Structures are given as structure tokens and as C-alpha cells.
Amino acid sequence: MAEEGQERFGEYLRKQREIRGFSLDEIAEQTKISLRALRAIEAEDWEILPAEIYVRGFIRCYCETIGLDPHEALLRFEEAYLPYKRQKEEKRHKETEYLTGKGRSPLFWVVLALVFLALLIMGGYFFWHKKSTPSKTILPSQTEEIPAQKEESAVTKEELPPPVKEETPGPKEELPAPREELSSPEKESLPAKEEISPPPDTPAPLDSSKAPEVLQESTEKP
């Protein structure tokens, strides 16, 4: 920590920068250090900065850019950073002791043992109670297999072709033999149908009055 009457490290850097006419934006552009980190260095906000070795590098680049002696600035940095470094180490040491169990009072171990014993008793009671009361066990495998078997049987029924009925050989029905067409000689040998001739014209009856004339004409012809 800075002694009384001596300016703080962050104020020292800011004054030297303003005397030389540099802005934080110009330093950030030349050194490629983020503007957030440069502001944290001048404000001595060590929580948001990375490890100490990186902060030392930032301060060295800062001083070289504005033309300030880095050695003098780093000495001031060590004095300003030392309280934070000690506080950080103490916090880490306490966390390590808590994780390893060192520094805990005996009462803590007594309470922990009682909690463990209570959990053990409760677990034993539930186990005994569950074992003593018979419970109806449902076999899910059997209940699940039944619809599965039904589905398989339905699928097999759909896939199988319908059974072919075996017909027992019975007495063969004698089919009538096709009629053989008669050959041409046989057709010729068959008697042809007799054509019915029309009846001869019957002469009309002669008149008795003209009969002697007809007879006379017939006798006169040689």
C-alpha cells in the first residue's frame, strides 16, 4: 500500500500520461491492449485483470508507449499490488482448508455423524418395511408378450396363402364324345330326300254340250 503523502500507482500513471499528451485510446491502439484493461490498471481494479505476469507486461508496454521509465512504474506496481496478492492467497488457503477438512470445529463432525446415522436408520426402516409387506408383482413381460403374440399371429395369417383343398378323385364323368361329321362318301350314300313333285294338272271337266264337237275334231284328225 502506498505510504501517506505518496500518490497511488494508478494516479501516478494517469498523470504521467496526461503530461505527455496521450489518451487511453491512443495507447490501446498502439499497444493492442484492451481499453478495459488500461482503465482497470489506472483504477487499480485488480479483480478484472488477468494474472500478475500479464499485468506486468501491460504496464511495461504502457510506459514504453508514453516514454516513462518501466522500472520505476513496476516498483510502484508491486507496492500497490501486494495487499491484493496477500488477500488472494489467504482466501485460497481458506478454501483449501475447507475442502481438506482442516480448521473445522469438532461440532461439525458430530453433526455430520448424526445426519449420516439418521439417513442409515431411515434407509434400513424403509427396506424392512418394503420387505415385510407382500406386494403384488405384476410381470410386465407376460402382459406385454400376449399382444405381441397376437400381432405376430395376425401377421402370419395375413402372409400365409389360403389353404388349397385337396380334391379326392371321384368317378370321372364320361363326357359325350363329339359327333363325328360324316365323311363325304357316307353323305353321298345316304338317300337323298325325295323331292315332292307337284300334282299333275287335272283337266277341267268338259261341257256336255261341247263334247260331240271335240269328239268330231279328234276323229277328223289323221
In this predicted model, which residue has the larger pLDDT, 4 or 74? 74
Task: Flag whether 83 is in a domain.
Answer: yes
Per-residue confidence band for 131, with pLDDT thresholds at 50, 70 and 90: confident
Task: Flag whether 140 is in a domain.
Answer: no
Range of the domain at 59: 9-100
DSSP string, 132-185: HS--PPP-HHHHHHHHHHHHHHHHHHHHSPPPPPPPPP-PPPPPPPPPPPPPHH
Cα distance between residue 212 and residue 218, in whole Å: 10
Task: Flag whether 39 is in a domain.
Answer: yes
- Render pLDDT for 7-38 as a digit per residue (tens, 0 to 9): 899 999 999 999 999 999 999 999 999 999 99
Other Cβ atoms less than 10 A from the Cβ of 27: the count is: 17
CATH of the domain at 46: 1.10.260.40
Cα distance between residue 142 and residue 144, in whole Å: 5
pLDDT at 137: 53
Task: Flag whether 143 is in a domain.
Answer: no
Give the angle subtended at the CA of 101 by the CAs of 97 and 104, to the nearest 5°. 90
Task: Flag whether 201 is in a domain.
Answer: no
Domain count of the chain? 1
Per-residue confidence band for 77, with pLDDT thresholds at 50, 70 and 90: very high
Task: Flag whether 90 is in a domain.
Answer: yes
